[in-house]
Amino acid sequence: MKSVNICVVGTGYVGLVTGACLASVGHRVVCVDSDKSKIALLKKGKMPIYEPGLEEVVSRAVKAKKLFFSTSIPDAINHQGHRVEAVFIAVGTPPRSDGSADLSFVEKVAEQVAEHMTGYTVIAEKSTVPVETGEWVHKTVTRFAAPGVEFDIVSNPEFLREGSAVGDFLHPDRVVVGTNSKRAAELMKLIYAPLKCPILITDVKSSELIKHASNSFLAAKISFINAVANICERTGANVEDVAKGMGMDKRIGASFLKAGIGFGGFCFPKDLEAFYWISRQKGYDFDMLRAVKEINEDQKRWVVRRAEEELWNLGGKTVALLGLAFKPETDDMRFAPSIDIVAALKERGAKIKVYDPVAMPNARKLLGGVTFCKNAQECMKDADCLVIVTEWAEFKNLDLEKVRALLRHPIVVDGRNIFEPARMRALGFAYKSVGRQ
């Protein structure tokens, strides 16, 4: 296999996983980030983010002299005499207050790459960006590139799930490449050849839309089953059986039909908002996306409603929250449901104790006025109510008799349906779960 010289700009979840995995399959990769402390950590072999398996992949690639780190785009583009052939832009595209994406980081990277590239370069959008961003990147590079230096702009969206990102990258369902250039398409095929997966070649705009459409559709599946769960609670049906019956239909599939307290993380909420903003900008009111968001927001309030059903007034009561990250196997607190749940409980005067296996450092930056506990047992001790927010394996394996003994009142609000209702009732718990009796 021919090795390609690659630069990845940005060492967040997407950039670092992309760079490390591309290096692990034989390419020469330089990961760049303007955050000097982050690069210093990586050069010491320490990870700036929590992602299972990533540290091992990085370590092996560094030892093989396939993966390097830098704080300088000019250095990365001509690193140790190796001219870069492809640049992946994997910087943040945070949401603005109106739901649109802030693309200023993408623009700055495009400028710097243009100023320092010395030969034909494929510049790939790896960050999630709105449709038509490729046109702006092309204009920017054209303005700043030296005369005669050729380049192509490619859209190459990521489909990584935090907590399983390494496996998702190395064993993908598909790779999407948006380009109108046969030369760029061939280079991208070469880069991804080791993954031995289907590669969809399309135009740039279609590729950009695929990412937003995919995430919005998955968010819609989650909100749909949560809406169904509300009907189940009102009729006595079991949402897990309903979801199983739906998922057995090959046209629907079982994935993302898990009822709970809603989705979080950086991708789904941000991409949903951005796609809705894009549709309005183009004169189409995509009302369905607004409904998806409203259902998701209401699921967070479900926790408070269920706690009040058992405790009546929450003022002065102690509520224990197990799990803070938006999903297990990550320390990511961005748009985590726990943030809004804590705020709603505090508004009603509740005292809050919290614990998460890995997200505590990030949670301390976001949550004020709560008691951070060193383990689950300390969190539950003398609490009036226990709320399951994130379905970590260690919570699924709790000794429930000990849980009952630790709580002041045996009340559990299970926002992730990790326990069985019949068993919980048999053990003497007042048990509330999503869409189950």
Q: pLDDT digit of tens for each residue in the chain (437 aa)?
A: 689 999 999 999 999 999 999 999 999 999 999 999 999 999 999 999 999 999 999 999 999 999 999 999 999 999 998 999 999 999 999 989 998 899 999 999 999 999 999 999 999 999 999 999 999 999 999 999 999 999 999 999 999 999 999 999 999 999 999 999 999 999 999 999 999 999 999 999 999 999 999 999 999 999 999 999 999 999 999 999 999 999 999 999 999 999 999 999 888 998 999 999 999 999 999 999 999 999 999 999 999 999 999 999 999 999 999 999 999 999 999 999 999 999 999 999 999 999 999 999 999 999 999 999 999 999 999 999 999 999 999 999 999 999 999 999 999 999 999 999 999 999 999 999 999 98
In a domain, 207, yes or no: no
Query: Do 191 and 222 belong together in one domain?
Result: no
Query: Do 192 and 224 belong together in one domain?
Result: no
Query: Do 64 and 148 belong together in one domain?
Result: yes
Q: How far apart are CA 137 and CA 316, in angstroms?
A: 54
Q: How far apart are CA 77 and CA 68, in angstroms?
A: 12
Q: Residue 318 has which token pair?
A: 């102690």
Say which CATH number the domain at 41 has.
3.40.50.720
Query: Do 181 and 272 belong together in one domain?
Result: no
In a domain, 127, yes or no: yes
Query: Do 330 and 420 belong together in one domain?
Result: yes
pLDDT at 426: 97
pLDDT at 2: 87
In a domain, 75, yes or no: yes
pLDDT at 266: 84
Query: Do 233 and 321 belong together in one domain?
Result: yes
Handedness of CA 181, 183, 186, 192 (dihedral sign): negative
Q: State the residue range of the domain holding 16.
A: 5-202
Coil, strand or helix: which one is 354?
strand
Query: Do 323 and 198 belong together in one domain?
Result: no
pLDDT at 121: 97
Query: Do 71 and 145 belong together in one domain?
Result: yes
Handedness of CA 363, 97, 34, 77 (dihedral sign): positive
CA–chain centroid gap for 339, Å, is 16
pLDDT at 330: 93
pLDDT at 324: 98
Place of tokens 């990250």: 325
Q: Which listed residue (267, 373, 379, 385) is catalytic?
A: 267
Show the CA angle centred on residue 222, arms to residues 217 and 224, nearest 5°: 90
pLDDT at 99: 87
Residue at a domain's end among 202, 231, 254: 202
pLDDT at 38: 95
Residue closest to 90 by CA, chosen among 251, 195, 211: 211
**Residue 220 contacts by C-beta under 8 Å, 6 or more apart in sequence?**
288, 289, 292
Give the orientation angle of helix 267-281 with respect to helix 287-311, to 10 degrees.
140
Q: Residue 322 has which token pair?
A: 């197990």
pLDDT at 182: 97
Q: How far apart are CA 227 and CA 121, in angstroms?
A: 47
Give the orientation angle of helix 204-235 with respect to helix 267-281, to 10 degrees.
110
In a domain, 208, yes or no: no
In a domain, 295, yes or no: yes
Query: Do 159 and 189 belong together in one domain?
Result: yes
Cα separation of the two ends of the chain: 57
- N residues, the chain: 437
- Give percent of the chain with pLDDT exceeding 90: 96
CA Rg value for the chain: 24
Residue at a domain's end among 179, 202, 225: 202
Query: Do 303 and 416 belong together in one domain?
Result: yes
Residue closest to 264 by CA, chosen among 156, 402, 362, 173: 362
**Residue 286 contacts by C-beta under 8 Å, 6 or more apart in sequence?**
275, 276, 279, 280
Q: Residue 415 has which token pair?
A: 């926002």
Alpha-carbon distances, residue 343 vs 347, 350, 368, 413 (angstroms): 6, 10, 9, 17
Catalytic site includes residue 21: no
Burial class (CB in 10 A: 0-12, 13-18, 19+), 42: buried
Beta bridge partners of 32: 9, 70
Alpha-carbon distances, residue 206 vs 2, 281, 334 (angstroms): 29, 17, 28
In a domain, 210, yes or no: no
DSSP-assigned states of every residue in 18-87? HHHHHHHTT-EEEEE-S-HHHHHHHHTT--SS--TTHHHHHHHHHHTT-EEEES-HHHHHEETTEE-SEE
Query: Do 83 and 173 belong together in one domain?
Result: yes
Query: Do 168 and 110 belong together in one domain?
Result: yes
Q: Residue 189 has which token pair?
A: 């095929």
Number of domains forming the structure of the chain: 2
Q: How far apart are CA 290 and CA 321, in angstroms?
A: 29
Q: How far apart are CA 216 and CA 74, in angstroms?
A: 36
Residue closest to 123 by CA, chosen among 131, 297, 115: 115
pLDDT at 267: 87
Residue closest to 150 by CA, chosen among 106, 189, 108, 114: 114
